Amino acid sequence: MTTGRVPERQELESYRSRVRGCLLGGAVGDALGGPVEFWNLERIQRECGRDGVKEYLPENVSGARAYGRITDDTQMTLFTVEGMIRASVRQDRGLGFTAGVLHHAYDRWLDTQLQSGPDGERDGWLINERWLYSRRAPGNTCLSALEVPRGGRRKLEQFGAEATNMSKGCGGVMRSAPFGLVPHWVWPSDWQFDSAAQAAGYTHGHSTGQMASGALAVLIGAIMRGYNLPRAIDEVESQLRARHGSAEVYQAIKQATEVARRGPGPEHIESLGGGWVAEEALAMAIYASLVYQEPGQLLDALSLAVTHSGDSDSTGAICGNILGALHGETALPPELAFEVEGRDTILTLADDFIYEFTASERLHGEYGPSTRWTERYPGW
């Protein structure tokens, strides 16, 4: 879907910076919080200081120190981006944007968790990125929802079906920012909300998990339209008020905005929960983003988002998504951005996402004739 008004060059340049900032910022926040995910606040402050996590902590990888390693949050976000590109390519066949293609993308992510490396049976380029074949504390809900019982065999006809569990864990919302990145001059906020909620439902069956995912997509989408953060939150609340099953998410966001008025503090972010469930993770990230809204405060916001006794990588990732979209890639702290794992892959995917959603007619034609682009991103 590339119809609609033609954006000005300056608008496209801003759009590119925000897309890159959102995806790279999410990875930075994820990597900052990953090593302390299972630490309590006392340990974080003892080992990192009273100001919390301000730099990447080293992790032992095969006897060597590694810094800036991402977790499953970023892994699944990357496959969401790739899945959205492939779903857009699929429109050449006259099928419309099929969100079920995202389910296939998450199935490919599952390969990276079950296999030691590519087996040559999958198409596209992302599945061949060997560095992704690493388990980074993936959520049990995502694993169990994507695996088919009896030997772990998976079947294509199951793609598009909602998970049968009642989980509202944060594994859906932490990968949903890309739905807000589609060009706002073409894709409406209703579509962003519904598509993110549907994709979250492939692994998380509880309505709260789905509503939180839709809420993050709309928040990112409003920011991409040029709204400031408070106005973007108003847009999210308006969407939530109109939807059944959204009460927990709506109340969590309301509480986050109220707590933000008290200023920064680990005791304030911990009053919002632990971030293990979707509405808490979103609320905690929104709180940290509201407390430190200025471009020069992005590191302070990320530090606040991960310095607590909960799911630090997920709250950090969502905060990075929000503020990266708000301020663009140049606001990201360079001392963290340069070293984050997979930076080349993340930015390549960001640029390819932009190409597909702003200039697809120059990459692939009507009715799906094969090109090098569609070999890179098959439409299924």
For 91-112, write each residue's pLDDT tens digit: 877 677 777 899 999 999 999 9
Give me 213's structure tokens: 């995912």
Residue 155, pLDDT score: 45
Q: How many residues make up the chain in this entry?
A: 380
Which parts of the chain have pLDDT scores under 70? 1-5, 94, 148-158, 366-369
Largest CA distance in the chain: 60
**In contact, 28 and 298? CB cutoff 8 Å:** no
1 lies in some domain: no
Nearest CA among 219, 318, 235, 241 for reference residue 275? 318
Report d(CA 205, CA 192) in Å as an integer.
19
Residue 93, pLDDT score: 73
Contacts of 136 (CB under 8 A, 6+ apart): 34, 69, 70, 71, 72, 75
Residue 226, pLDDT score: 96
Give the tens place of pLDDT for each residue, 150-192.
455 554 446 888 999 999 999 999 999 999 999 999 999 999 9
Task: Tell me the DSSP string of 162-187.
Answer: PPSS---BTTTGGG-GGGG-S-TTTS
313 lies in some domain: yes
Helices (H), 225-311: 229-241, 247-260, 266-270, 278-291, 298-306
Beta bridge partners of 60: 65
Instruction: State how many domains the chain has.
Output: 1
Which of the 8 DSSP states describes residue 364? S
Residue 261, pLDDT score: 98
Q: Which amino acid does the sequence have at 106?
A: Y
283 lies in some domain: yes
Report d(CA 26, CA 52) in Å as an integer.
19
158 lies in some domain: no
155 lies in some domain: no
pTM: 0.95
62 lies in some domain: no
Give the tens place of pLDDT for each residue, 310-331.
999 999 999 999 999 999 999 9
- What's the CATH code of the domain at 276? 1.10.4080.10
Nearest CA among 174, 167, 221 for reference residue 194? 221
Residue 337, pLDDT score: 98
Residue 361, pLDDT score: 87
Report d(CA 16, CA 18) in Å as an integer.
5
**R_g of the chain computed on alpha carbons:** 19
Report d(CA 347, CA 294) in Å as an integer.
23
* Residue 10, Cβ density class (10 Å: 0-12 exposed, 13-18 middle, ≥19 buried): exposed
Report d(CA 369, CA 307) in Å as an integer.
50
* Residue 97, Cβ density class (10 Å: 0-12 exposed, 13-18 middle, ≥19 buried): middle
**84 lies in which domain range?**
14-54+68-146+164-375
Task: Tell me the DSSP string of 201-235.
Answer: TTT--SHHHHHHHHHHHHHHHHHHTT--HHHHHHH
109 lies in some domain: yes
61 lies in some domain: no
